A and B are shown apart, each in its own frame.
Chain A
Amino acid sequence: MKWKVTVTVRLKEGLNDPEGRVIGKALRNLGYAVENLRVPKCFEFELESERPEEEVEEMCRKLLANPLIHSWEYRIEPVS
């Protein structure tokens, strides 16, 4: 079976996100009252698998995220 997968990887709470800080500051300079901007990373792919949840979880732990500094979540939908 084929799935459409979206994985979002973000820095854990409390860890400094320098890129987010700079982008947030740029938006504030444009006059928007932006606070605490963070930049998660998003991966989209199609996956042929009989056990998609298990495989996606494994991919996050092995490569897409660094468990020491990141948390992750994913959405798995059948390809229509």
Chain B
Amino acid sequence: MVRFAVVVFPGTNCDFETERAIRKAGAEAERVWYKTSLKDFDGVVLPGGFSYADYLRAGAIAARQEIMEEVKEFAEEGRPVLGICNGFQILTEAGLLPGALRPNRVPRFLCRWVHLRVNDTETPFTSLYEPGEVIRMPIAHAEGNYYTDDPSKVRIVFQYSDENGNVSEEANPNGSVLNIAAIANERGNVLGTMPHPERASDRFLGSGDGLRLFRSMVEWARR
């Protein structure tokens, strides 16, 4: 059975939910402290939270820890690397994904459900979605305002939209360039998402749409 590491930094707080969602998707998952090695794992997930209290910039300090060298190797070897919320911030700060996540346009913490338009189903994380499908997941962040100086070079995976899939200014909760909510690297094996799929991994939570992200990832890692 494929095994995923869920990396825990000081201040990470979505590790249990993420571990549970991966298990529900059919793989083994284990929470690992950031000073542990990642060998023996098939994929790595950086969950949400507030690593190092978000001091300096969200994700900046975690991105400079030694374990990230191993995460970079995972990425280079083409194995799956998923960053959720704070994990996405860590991946951009570490240079594994392009761009930066700035404080929200309205400078406050946003915690609510959003609609997302699935823009790219060719990644290992989105193969079980339909192109153009509208899904629901929650966001919970203060620094989710995605910026890049060249959006044409970014592989956009999810965009904030209304319930009909219209990618409009009104549907943009944080000011992200082109309503970007999730991106992948060029090869597709590194994904960063601000919305939390683990918090939408069961209908009892309000939506089961996020579970397919983990199922896609697990199915792909098995091959």
Q: Is the CB of B102 within 8 A of A15?
A: yes
Closest beta carbon of chain A to B61's beta carbon, Å: 8
Total cross-chain contacts (CB, 8 A): 32
Q: Indicate whether A27 reaches chain B with its CB closer than 8 angstroms.
A: no
Contact B175 A68 (CB under 8 A): no
1/0 per position for A49-63, CB-CB distance to B under 8 A? 000000000000011
- CB-CB < 8 A to A63: which residues of B? 56, 60-61, 64
Query: With A66-B57, A68-B99 given, is the CB distance from A18 to B105 under 8 Å?
Result: yes
A15 to B103, CA, bound (A): 11
Check if B100 sits within 8 Å of A18, measured CB to CB. no
Which residue of chain A lies nearest to B142 when distances are taken between CB atoms in the complex? A18
Prevailing SS type, chain B contact patch: loop
A68-B56 in contact given A22-B107, A63-B64 (Cβ < 8 Å): no
| Interfacial chain B residues near A66, Cβ < 8 Å | 57, 60, 93, 100
For A43, the closest partner residue in chain B by CB is B56
Chain A binding surface SS class: helix
Contact (Cβ within 8 A) A18 B104: yes
List residues of chain B with CB within 8 A of the CB of A22. Answer: 107
State A21–B149 Cα separation when bound (angstroms): 22
Query: 10 smallest A-B Cβ distances: which pairs?
Result: A18-B107, A68-B100, A69-B100, A18-B103, A19-B107, A66-B100, A22-B107, A63-B64, A18-B105, A69-B147
18 CB < 8 A contacts A-B: A15-B102, A15-B147, A16-B102, A16-B175, A18-B103, A18-B104, A18-B105, A18-B106, A19-B103, A19-B107, A22-B107, A62-B64, A63-B60, A63-B61, A66-B57, A66-B60, A68-B147, A69-B147
Residues of B within 8 A of A (CB): 56-57, 60-61, 64, 93, 99-100, 102-107, 147-149, 175
Assuming A16-B105, A18-B105, what are 16 further A-B pairs, CB within 8 angstroms? Answer: A15-B102, A15-B147, A16-B175, A18-B103, A18-B106, A19-B107, A21-B107, A22-B107, A63-B60, A63-B61, A63-B64, A66-B93, A68-B148, A68-B149, A69-B102, A69-B147
Residues of A within 8 A of B (CB): 15-16, 18-19, 21-22, 62-64, 66, 68-69
